[in-house]
Amino acid sequence: MDKIIDYYDNLAETYDENRFENTYGKFIDKQERNILNQLLTNSKEMILDLACGSGRLLNYANFGVDASSKMIEISKHKFQNKSIYLADAEKTQFEANTFDTIISFHFFMHLNQNKVDKILEECYRILKPNGRIIFDVPSIKRRELLNFKTNEWHGAYSTSIAVLKQNHHFKINQTFGLLFFPIHRFPKFARNFLVKIDLIIANSFLKEYSSYLIIEYKKNDDN
Ligand SMILES: C[S@@+](CC[C@H](N)C(=O)[O-])C[C@H]1O[C@@H](n2cnc3c(N)ncnc32)[C@H](O)[C@@H]1O
């Protein structure tokens, strides 16, 4: 996994501009924030941003963790009043039952099933009873439809709601689809209209044919 950390160490300084200053990045960021605004309504919650990177979504959390020291430098500089730690998401230093909510974006997509499972184990450990993790992941049904394949680690992982339902530590509470149409490729004048249609289709029975799924996973306290 070190190649992933090296990659983000090298990208850290330009990450915000490189990923979120273009039409695609701005669109994704806005839609993710719309969903987080719907789900994160209790300001008293203990919230961890897992793989917080440069701190794009750290305004929603009190704590951050990332394995790239360069990314951490940037997020610490932006959010001097937050507790941000360098750690592997698989082995954080937090005590059991610490957080109400964990958010984790643009992270699982770069891992493999084994690593995702280990990180979910750790999330289960550090979440309070009834805690939840909110994360995004590419939809495998969309990728199969478009015959998307990659040999690289970057963005290579995808999954389905059926697979996510098999995790015995968590149950799915809510799902959202994101980016059914490649909106950023349409001319500017058409985008506002398309965003509205996209939101409807990406949250209909065609949800899993969106590019990404956003999952609210609730900790299962039966085991
Ligand atoms: C694409 S960035 C996402 C950053 C942020 N969550 C966002 O949405 O903008 C992926 C982040 O995952 C971090 N990362 C990769 N492997 C990790 C691991 N095993 N534990 C913790 N962080 C990791 C990288 O350092 C990088 O900052």
Quick check: 97 and 65 in contact, CB under 8 A?
A: no
Q: Has residue 103 got a pLDDT over 70? A: yes
Quick check: 190 and 198 in contact, CB under 8 A?
A: no
Residue 185 pLDDT? 82
Distance from C-alpha of 187 to C-alpha of 191, rounded to nearest angstrom: 7
Quick check: 167 and 223 in contact, CB under 8 A?
A: no
The amino acid occupying position 71 is M
User: What residue ranges in 2-115 does DSSP mark as E strands?
Assistant: 47-50, 63-66, 83-86, 99-104
Residue 151 pLDDT? 74
Q: Could you tell me if the CB of 57 is within 6 A of ligand 1?
A: yes
Quick: pLDDT tens for 121-178. Answer: 999 999 999 999 999 999 999 999 998 888 788 899 999 999 999 999 999 999 999 9
Quick: pLDDT tens for 2-30. Answer: 899 999 999 999 998 888 988 888 889 99
Residue 187 pLDDT? 85
Quick check: 173 and 216 in contact, CB under 8 A?
A: yes
Q: Could you tell me if the CB of 67 is within 6 A of ligand 1?
A: yes
Q: Please choose from 1, 2, 3, 8 the residue to mutate so as to test ligand 1's pocket, defined by most ligand atoms within 8 A of CB.
A: 8
Q: Has residue 223 got a pLDDT over 70? A: no
Helix (H, G, I), strand (E, B) or coil at 187: coil
Average pLDDT of the chain?
93
Distance from C-alpha of 172 to C-alpha of 101, rounded to nearest angstrom: 14
Distance 74 CA to ligand 1 centre (A): 13
Q: Which domain holds residue 150?
A: 2-219
Q: What is this structure's pTM?
A: 0.95
Distance from C-alpha of 111 to C-alpha of 109, rounded to nearest angstrom: 6
Q: Could you tell me if the CB of 5 is within 6 A of ligand 1?
A: yes
Q: Has residue 1 got a pLDDT over 60? A: no
CATH number of the domain that residue 19 is part of: 3.40.50.150
CB atoms within 10 A of CB 16: 16
- Hey, CA dihedral for 103, 109, 112, 113, is it positive or negative? positive
DSSP track, 143-179? HHHTT---SSSTT---B-HHHHHT-TTEEEEEEEEE-
Q: Has residue 79 got a pLDDT over 80? A: yes
Q: Has residue 222 got a pLDDT over 70? A: no
Least Cα distance to 211 among 176, 171, 180 occurs for: 180
User: What residue ranges in 51-98 does DSSP mark as E strands?
Assistant: 63-66, 83-86
Q: Has residue 181 got a pLDDT over 90? A: no
84 burial via Cβ count (<10 Å: 0-12, 13-18, 19+): buried
Q: How many domains does the structure of the chain reveal? A: 1
Q: Please choose from 30, 47, 66, 79 the residue to mutate so as to test ligand 1's pocket, defined by most ligand atoms within 8 A of CB.
A: 66
Mean pLDDT of 54-64: 97
